Amino acid sequence: MEWQLTWTIAQRELREALKNKWLWFYALAFAGLALALSQAGVASAGYAGLGGFGRTAASLINALLLFVPLMGLSVGAGALAGDRERGTLLYLLAQPVNRAEIFFGKALGAMLALFAALGLGFGFAGLGLASSGDGNAFAYLSLAGYSLLLALVSLGLGFIISALTRKGATAAGAALIAWLVLVFFGDLGVMGAAVSFRPTASALLAVMLVNPLQVFKLAAIYNLRATLDTLGSVGQYADYEFGAALPFILFGLLATWIIASFGIAFALFNRRGDL
């Protein structure tokens, strides 16, 4: 695999992704919400002893759980399916490039576009916090880092959808369904399991760790508080069982999701005899 060819394809994919109006719609919506949350958190900093940064970061986690997967899935779902539908993918494969260079070039370009969109949101939120002189730079940057990991997981899942579909509209619909399952049924599933089956703390934690969004939530909360006691018995069990190794375990789980999702997507793309 030649890096120059991969980078050329990545640049093309970056330009195409940056033309996606939905990506910028989600990015601007997240940026506006992040700025509003930062200002609201600062404004309430004097009430009940609650710090502005803590309130902003906690609110941002909930916003990130909605916006980041939606952005990643939508960009990834259109990366291969859109080119396949337009015939561009057939043209690329007719050139002296292999499937690995095409796939990873498109993945790299989509990653850069997604990072640019997320950078807009975090930039606005950071400006809101910086203007008030309130904040924790290390915790904020750590939250941004975990968000990028979640974005890559979502992008990889979007590429799996894109590798399996022939039309962009079909891929977009499947991405929306996947987002609904991950976001809404993830939380509802955990609550439903807790109410219906009354599992042990270890079993409920295992259910949470299956969903990458829940892994991100655990990592983000731990990053802010250095403990998960706010999650009740599940958080206390996780703290007791894993201790200081917990953030490394959560990071490793997100990294595993990234490697597995892109690996599966490439295997599906590489095995297709038709386009």
Tens of pLDDT, residues 4-28: 888 888 998 888 888 888 888 888 8
* Residue 227 to residue 240: CA distance in whole angstroms: 10
* Residue 200 to residue 234: CA distance in whole angstroms: 9
Residues 6+ apart with CB under 8 A from 211: 182, 186, 189, 190
pTM over 0.85: yes
Lowest-pLDDT choice from 44-48, 125-129, 244-248: 44-48
**What pLDDT is attached to residue 89?**
85
153: confidence class by pLDDT, cuts 50, 70, 90: very high
Checking if the pLDDT of 230 tops 70, the result is no
User: On the CB side of 83, how many CA atoms lie within 13 Å of its CA?
Assistant: 24
254: confidence class by pLDDT, cuts 50, 70, 90: very high
CB-based burial of residue 39 (10 Å sphere; 0-12 exposed, 13-18 middle, 19+ buried)? middle
**What pLDDT is attached to residue 4?**
85
**What pLDDT is attached to residue 247?**
85
User: On the CB side of 174, how many CA atoms lie within 13 Å of its CA?
Assistant: 21
Summarised one tens digit per residue, pLDDT across range 52-105 is 566 677 778 888 888 999 999 999 998 898 888 888 888 888 888 888 999 999
Domain ranges of the chain: 3-271
Lowest-pLDDT choice from 31-45, 66-80, 231-245, 260-274: 31-45
111: confidence class by pLDDT, cuts 50, 70, 90: very high
Summarised one tens digit per residue, pLDDT across range 171-222 is 999 999 999 988 877 766 666 666 666 767 777 777 788 889 989 988 888 8
| Contact criterion met (CB below 8 Å) for 135 and 53 | yes
Of the candidates 179, 241, 178, 177, the one whose C-alpha atom is nearest the C-alpha of residue 204 is: 241
**What pLDDT is attached to residue 76?**
92
* Residue 64 to residue 150: CA distance in whole angstroms: 9
User: On the CB side of 3, how many CA atoms lie within 13 Å of its CA?
Assistant: 0
More confident position, 89 or 261: 261
More confident position, 225 or 42: 225
**What pLDDT is attached to residue 50?**
41
**What pLDDT is attached to residue 104?**
94
Mean pLDDT of the chain: 82
Q: What are phi and psi of 20, to 5 degrees?
A: -70, 110
Checking if the pLDDT of 255 tops 90, the result is yes
